[in-house]
Amino acid sequence: MREFNKISPRLDRLDLGAAKITQLLDGLFPEPTPGSIALWGPWAFCFGIAFWFAPSSEPAIWLVPLALAFSIIAVLWVGFQANSNAKLFFFLAMVCAILLGMGRAELRGMNKAAQVMPSGARSWVVTGKLNKIDREVGHRARYLIGVQEIEGLNPEQLPKYVRVGGFAGDAKIGSIVRFLARLEPPRQAVVPGGFSFSRNAWFQQIGGTGFTLGHLEVLVEPKINSVALRLFKLRYDLSATIRNRMPGQSGAVAAALITGDRSAIKEETSVAFREAGLGHLLAISGLHMSLVGGIAFFIASLLFSMIPAIGARMDARKPAAIIGILVSFSYLMISGATAPTQRAFIMLGLIFLAVLLGRRALSIRTISMAALLVALLSPEYVVSPGFQMSFAASLALIAFYQRARPILQINNQKAATGLAISGAFRKGTAFLFGVLLTSLVAGIATAPFASWHFHKIAVYSLLGNLLAMPVFTILVMPFLFIGVCLMPLGLEGTFFQIASLGLLSVQQTSAYTADLPGAVWAIGSVSPVSLLLEAMALVMVCIAYERLKYVGLALLLISMVVRTNHVQPDIWLDHKGGVILPHGDKDRTPIVFGKPNKFALRLFFEAVGMPDTASSKIQKIQNAICDAHGCTIKLDDKLISIRSFVEDVETDCQFADLIVVPGSLSSRQQVACEGAKVLTLSKTAGSLVYLRENQWIIKRPQSDRIWDRAAQKGR
């Protein structure tokens, strides 16, 4: 009994501690409300899609439906319990949503399966229908061909589409053409962890890429016999007309704003927009859709209110909302229906639907439903920068203004009572302040995704948006939209001139902002774990109104630690050369050897956080000893031998710490080089080499996904 009395206080303290932990967890993870699943489920569905795309090997097909079946059984079992645990039910529902996302992505990948050209670059005679001209610069163009016949391949071996570069103006959309082209399967990522061309082509059912050896021969004149071809032709003709009516880069940017065709925009213009933080203006998204739909809604409301038979009997905004939906849908079709445009149309459609029903328009639930619909229609968009940055900005802006609305309303009421401030000045100040707040919130929300995909952040994006957005919102989009609507009547001239002046001002603003010192902050590649944590943190902070948002902030701090601990490679190699980043050099001035792919080299510089000017600092192996057989380079205290030929490699194996050879070693050479670090260059993708604690770590692309297997085997 005495011993029990000694232990009893300890048990009481343990019970008290457990109660405090339970109370803390209840505070961090509050009881789910009836609408919690509809609010959180779409984002869990999107995370499931991202998880399916993340692995380098194909997920087991049977695993997803099996796990999903068990999860559904568990959800139903918990849901029908008399005293069911709401938190457990919510957790299982989120697991189901993740598995459903994985299953949807799996089905999409299987449904998009199509034949791929045989491996290796060869010349082929191709006959097919010209379905799309998706790029036209100078005398060159890029054609999407629906394949009908390829000499040397059986019908069951034919890819559905091939994409080739050729001479501009050879044929029109809908023509049956024949041409000689050098084709190969879509390639894997040229830099490990980089953009996968093969995956992107797989979901577009493009089985071969290359270039024509001569001109396209038109066999049959255009026959536009499908809705898709009519849309492609309409977009192409409209882009050409806008560029003709608005010459120069203003016309190129205007065509991009209306049809999504950015092929005529010069590289320096695109770079200036991106580095000024105005790159979102060139990609049609929520801003453009809301301006077009809003202008149509405003004009229709004004006209309907002036008609006595309508304005006196009903709210003029309701028929105007129908006009807004129709105009927005037309803009969606003309602009190419990309993921950001789909999201913008769905959200704007829900807003107009709310006007028709007299309900609240914008909410977190609206953006969640929009994300679910886009992910259901096109799961591959979830891992695209357009989807991620568009939804991140929209989610953050809606959450911010919902929570800041009471404070902003109080400030507006105080400002309205001030006699010293005129109404016009107050409205102008409020507009500029709104632009500044919107740019700040959207910039913070999209920064993790921008750094992940593009490896750079525009430092002066706030300044660029503050200078450009008023002009873009007031002059460019309204006058450009009205001008396009008046083109059939030939009355677009004045409107296009005003829009052109506005675009010229925006271009000057972007050039000025991009030229400021330190305008771009280059960021190297980071671990995918950090992006996952940051995406989860964004969703938690924006959706959670209880203490759960503090969990999101904790995840954000953890992601910062993961980012700072991510190491960068020392060497990148492809089958024609590579680049070395010396440790001793303060600026890590790159040393390039051989003739590496220039595009891949630029991607590598971006991946290690080097600015675009890195290529101007390249050393051509000034501190290397070279002969006819290759070069020897010193990296710290390690000796690297880069061989031009595989022959006589045995000598290098005796003294070099790392030997790079263009081909595989023979059995005799393998015996002689036993114990030496030998790296064989890959002909299809690059390799990253790390020197860590006197050990060489080599990272090669080892993707075994369905699109990479098809490209490697040329099924």
pLDDT tens string 105-119: 988 988 888 888 887
* Averaged pLDDT for residues 220-226: 78
Residues in the chain: 715
The model's pLDDT over 626-679, given as tens digits with 9 standing for 90+, comes to 666 677 777 667 777 777 677 777 777 777 778 777 777 777 777 777 767 777
- The span from the CA of 40 to the CA of 533, in Å, is 16
* Greater pLDDT, 412 or 378: 378
Q: How many helices (H) and strands (E) does the chain have?
A: 24, 18
Q: Indicate the pLDDT class of residue 277, thresholds 50, 70 and 90.
A: confident
Q: Indicate the pLDDT class of residue 419, thresholds 50, 70 and 90.
A: very low
Res 187: pLDDT? 82
* Greater pLDDT, 4 or 274: 274
Strand, coil or helix: 634: strand
Residue 550 predicted with pLDDT over 50 = yes
Res 597: pLDDT? 72
Between strands 140-150 and 695-699, the pairing is unpaired
The model's pLDDT over 315-347, given as tens digits with 9 standing for 90+, comes to 788 888 899 899 989 888 888 777 678 778 887
φ, ψ of residue 685 in degrees (nearest 5): -155, 165
Residue 20 predicted with pLDDT over 70 = no
CA neighbours closer than 13 Å in the CB half-sphere of residue 520? 26
- End-to-end, the C-alpha distance of the chain in Å comes to 79
Residue 62 predicted with pLDDT over 90 = no
Residue 46 predicted with pLDDT over 90 = yes
- The domain at 122-223 falls in which architecture? Beta Barrel (2.40)
Average pLDDT of the chain to the nearest whole number: 79
Q: What percent of the chain has pLDDT over 90?
A: 10
Cβ contact 608:601 at 8 Å: no
Using only C-alpha atoms, the chain has a radius of gyration, in whole angstroms, of 29
Q: Is the pTM of this model over 0.85?
A: no
Tokens found for residue 687: 């390799």
φ, ψ of residue 697 in degrees (nearest 5): -115, 120
* Greater pLDDT, 646 or 387: 387
Q: Within a 10 A sphere around the Cβ of 32, how many other Cβ atoms?
A: 17
* Averaged pLDDT for residues 551-569: 82
* Greater pLDDT, 517 or 314: 517
Burial 371-407 (b: 16+ CB within 10 A, else e): bbbbbeebbbbbbbbbbbbbbbbbbbbbbbeeeeeee
Residue 28 predicted with pLDDT over 60 = no
- The span from the CA of 167 to the CA of 504, in Å, is 30
The segment with the largest mean pLDDT, out of 4-18, 68-82, 292-306, 694-708, is 292-306
Residue 351 predicted with pLDDT over 90 = no
Res 18: pLDDT? 46
* Greater pLDDT, 704 or 621: 704
Residue 616 predicted with pLDDT over 50 = no
Own/partner pairs, 297-303, CB within 8 angstroms, 24+ separation: 297/321, 297/323, 297/324, 297/352, 300/324
φ, ψ of residue 35 in degrees (nearest 5): -95, 10
SS3 content of the chain, % helix, strand, coil (to 5): 55, 15, 30
The model's pLDDT over 423-479, given as tens digits with 9 standing for 90+, comes to 566 666 776 777 778 878 888 888 888 888 888 888 888 888 888 888 888 888 889
Q: Indicate the pLDDT class of residue 15, thresholds 50, 70 and 90.
A: very low
- The span from the CA of 606 to the CA of 490, in Å, is 46
Domain ranges of the chain: 31-111, 122-223, 236-522, 528-564, 571-713
